[in-house]
Amino acid sequence: MLSRYLVRDVMKKGVVEVNLDAKLSEIIKTMAKYDISSVVVSDGETFWGIITDTDVMKHYHNLEKTAEEIMTTNPITVSPEAPLEKAVEIMAERGIHHLYVRSPCEEKIVGVLSSKDVIKLFSDIIEKVE
């Protein structure tokens, strides 16, 4: 069902970034503003990590914590040219809902593949078959 798709076909291009020193209160507002469940932590040049809704839930009691203190470092990433089937397998095996897409040419995050994106594709495929 997924064998003809690559990650780039389904991923959301672009990401929302926050600085290392961003406070959790700012991060929550940013996530709400863009209706997203994760952000990239960056200094504009270097990708340091990610913060997901799970990280927010773990630390919501201290809104003064910084992105650097709560981010997940070294998250699993995938190339935009990777087979979608492989990306879905990684997400399922690792129990993750966001897989960041790293440019093969540079150390830059160019998009994100979320479980919601994959479910939407599944639905589209099922509708075409029925």
Please spell the DSSP secondary structure of 78-121, one letter per residue.
E-TTSBHHHHHHHHHHHT-SEEEEE-SSSS-EEEEEEHHHHHHH
pLDDT value at residue 10? 94
Instruction: Give the C-alpha separation, 56 to 62, whole Å.
Output: 10
Residue 16 pLDDT grade (very low, low, confident, very high; cuts 50, 70, 90) = very high
Q: Enter the pTM of the model.
A: 0.83
Token pair 């830059």 in the structure block, residue: 108
**Residue 1 confidence (pLDDT) above 80:** no
The predicted-structure confidence for 73-125, as pLDDT tens digits, reads as follows 988 999 999 999 999 999 999 999 999 999 888 778 899 999 999 999 989 88
Contact criterion met (CB below 8 Å) for 31 and 37: yes
Which domains does the chain possess? Answer: 7-129 (3.10.580.10)
Residue 60 pLDDT grade (very low, low, confident, very high; cuts 50, 70, 90) = very high
Q: What torsion, rounded to 10 degrees, do the Cα atoms 49, 53, 55, 57 define?
A: 170
The predicted-structure confidence for 25-53, as pLDDT tens digits, reads as follows 999 999 999 999 999 999 878 889 999 99
